[in-house]
Amino acid sequence: MIRFLTVVLIICAFVAGPILAQPTLKSVALPDQTNGRLEHILRRGALIVGVKTDYPPWGMLDAQGRIIGLEPDLARALADRMGVDLELVAVTASNRLSRVNQGVVDVVIATMGDTVTRRGQAGLLEPSYYSSGVVAYGPIDRNYQSWEELRGLPVCMTQGSYYNRTLEETYGVDGKYFPANREAKMALSFGRCVGWAFDDTALVQRVLANPETNYSVMEDRILVTPWAIGVAIGERDAPLGRFVSDMIGEWHATGYLLALERKWNIGESAYLQALNAAWSQTGPEGTPSYCNMRQGALPPDCLGAPPFPPVAETGAPPPWVADLEDATGVDLTVFYDAYSRGRLIRGLGLTLTLSAVAIIGALVVGLGLGVMDASLRGRGLWARMLLLPQKALVTLARMTPPILQMYIVFFGLGGVLSQSSLITPGAFTTAALILSLYAGSTNAVLIAHALEQERRLNPEKGVWTLLPGAFQRAFDGLVAACVNIVKAAGMASAIALAELVSTVNLIVSEGGDVSTFMNGLLVFYFLLVLGVLWLFRRARRWVVGTGP
């Protein structure tokens, strides 16, 4: 018996020997001395992490509306190690950097590509924890297989993705920008673009999860980039950044990330396997690990792929731009980049055109519906019947928020129309129509009311002869409604019209100076409205020869 037990023990020692001989992985602990954001988190008793909710299975909502996925699991692991509660906040590609820099979230784990440009905008941590490239997703019958085939074609894009600019500048696609994946996908299915350019990780999973749909992903995966966890600018080398970096290293070393891939049915990726292999190696001279962060710079195979290189900007700003920034904080560098300048000029042009079209539309709609009201009012049953649709239209247009009207027409009605192979209105047409109707219905009420008052003074005159007097009477109200429509034109950004508000948000999401752009936008609108008021006063003087 004793001999048997001895044999068993010897066998056990042989089997266990190599395992025990491996370096024991020491769990990352919180530093003794905390300051900055980490101290803030510990005092608050909660870690706030920005994650995606539209990127299954990395970040998504369950049936109860809770945020779950691979990245929320990583967030949970961070909070547990800190010994604090976890709060997850949904972020998008376009707002994740600003959210972490504003302090809305402490950490972003939101499928963020690591780029040299972003490293200058926030604290992007090493090592990377995932990687993806960009592919196009589109209807199977079109079957685009390379980016060259998409040159010059409209492609839906999600605002804030690192590859958007390269796809437009180098691959020549005509980008249609949407605030989030949901809108980009909807716009694709409603035929507003030929494909949706997005991360291969998300799109491959999408095709696998919905094999019955008629969509496929192209083979041509380009611009492959590692993913980085982000903290606020300045926190990268502070205790929070160092702690999270150590945790990422631990996740690679223990195979936790690979385990999460299995848990979420993604399948082990070669990228994470290579990182796991590097991080589980022993160091050359008895160091606990080959990838030892405390030994200075990490070997490249511990970091993952290098960050996406910066886009070459055209034109260097003159020295006074830097002086101005030092003196006032106003950063005009973006205006010296031809690509951004071009977008701003196009955005400005679209805002001015949309405002002009909406003002004319609102006056035409107001005139038509107002005259209809004044002509038919008090003319018996048939006239009342004819007035019913007019009243319904005016009530609906005035009492439905214009942003909701745009969603309804652009995505809802547009979607239903596209499924029935009818022509669907574009973003500009939709915005111009909705804004004209919204302000036009207010104008209709004003004109009808003014015509009624004119008629009381001149009962013998016809509606058309009373019109100039009515216009005079309703002038201030009409101007107010038209000014409101100019102010509301920015809402068209919600349906991917690249007007000024949309362009400014896009540039800010790509690292443009928030304060310069936001203050600039306010000043621009202040002057635009003053200009519109001045034009109306000129027009009044020109038409009637008098005026205030």
Give the binding site for another protein (CB under 8 A).
40, 43-44, 53-54, 61, 63, 65, 90, 95, 98, 102-104, 179, 182, 185-186, 189-190, 395-396, 398-405, 407-408, 411-413, 415-416, 418-419, 483-484, 487-488, 490-491, 493-494, 501, 504-505, 508, 514-515, 518, 521-522, 525-526, 529-530
**Which C-beta is closer to another protein: that of 272 or that of 409?**
409
Nearest distance, CB of residue 265 and another protein, angstroms: 20
What letters, b where the CB count within 10 A reaches 16 and e where it falls short, cover 160-188?
A: bbbbbbbbbeebebebbbbbbbebbbbbb
Nearest distance, CB of residue 98 and another protein, angstroms: 6
**Cis status, amide bond into 127, omega within 30 of 0:** yes
Measured distance CA(345)–CA(37) in Å, rounded: 39
DSSP assignment of 506-548 equals HHHHTT--HHHHHHHHHHHHHHHHHHHHHHHHHHHHHHHS---
**Which C-beta is closer to another protein: that of 188 or that of 291?**
188
Measured distance CA(196)–CA(157) in Å, rounded: 6
CB-CB contact of 332 with 321 (8 Å): yes
308 DSSP assignment? B
Nearest distance, CB of residue 500 and another protein, angstroms: 9
Measured distance CA(256)–CA(314) in Å, rounded: 43
* Helix (H) / strand (E) containing 300: helix 300-303
Nearest distance, CB of residue 182 and another protein, angstroms: 5
Q: Specify the pairing of strand 130-139 against strand 222-227.
A: antiparallel
Query: How far is C-alpha 228 from the chain's CA centre?
Result: 18
**Which C-beta is closer to another protein: that of 295 or that of 419?**
419
Nearest distance, CB of residue 438 and another protein, angstroms: 9
**Which C-beta is closer to another protein: that of 353 or that of 484?**
484
Nearest distance, CB of residue 402 and another protein, angstroms: 7
How many residues does this entry show for the chain? 548
**Which C-beta is closer to another protein: that of 232 or that of 244?**
232
**Cis status, amide bond into 57, omega within 30 of 0:** yes
**Which C-beta is closer to another protein: that of 282 or that of 419?**
419
* Helix (H) / strand (E) containing 301: helix 300-303
CB-CB contact of 349 with 498 (8 Å): no
**Which C-beta is closer to another protein: that of 415 or that of 547?**
415
Nearest distance, CB of residue 44 and another protein, angstroms: 5
**Which C-beta is closer to another protein: that of 201 or that of 405?**
405
Nearest distance, CB of residue 67 and another protein, angstroms: 11
Give Cβ neighbours of residue 488 (< 8 Å, ≥ 6 apart): 402, 435, 438, 439
Nearest distance, CB of residue 505 and another protein, angstroms: 6
Nearest distance, CB of residue 408 and another protein, angstroms: 5
The runs of H, that is alpha helices, within 377-426 are 381-399, 402-407, 414-419
Nearest distance, CB of residue 100 and another protein, angstroms: 10
Measured distance CA(228)–CA(245) in Å, rounded: 10
What letters, b where the CB count within 10 A reaches 16 and e where it falls short, cover 384-406?
A: eeebeebeebbeebbeeebeebb
Tokens, residue 510:
């790509």
The runs of H, that is alpha helices, within 154-299 are 164-169, 181-189, 200-209, 239-254, 256-263, 270-279
Give Cβ neighbours of residue 508 (< 8 Å, ≥ 6 apart): 98, 514, 517, 518
Nearest distance, CB of residue 304 and another protein, angstroms: 31
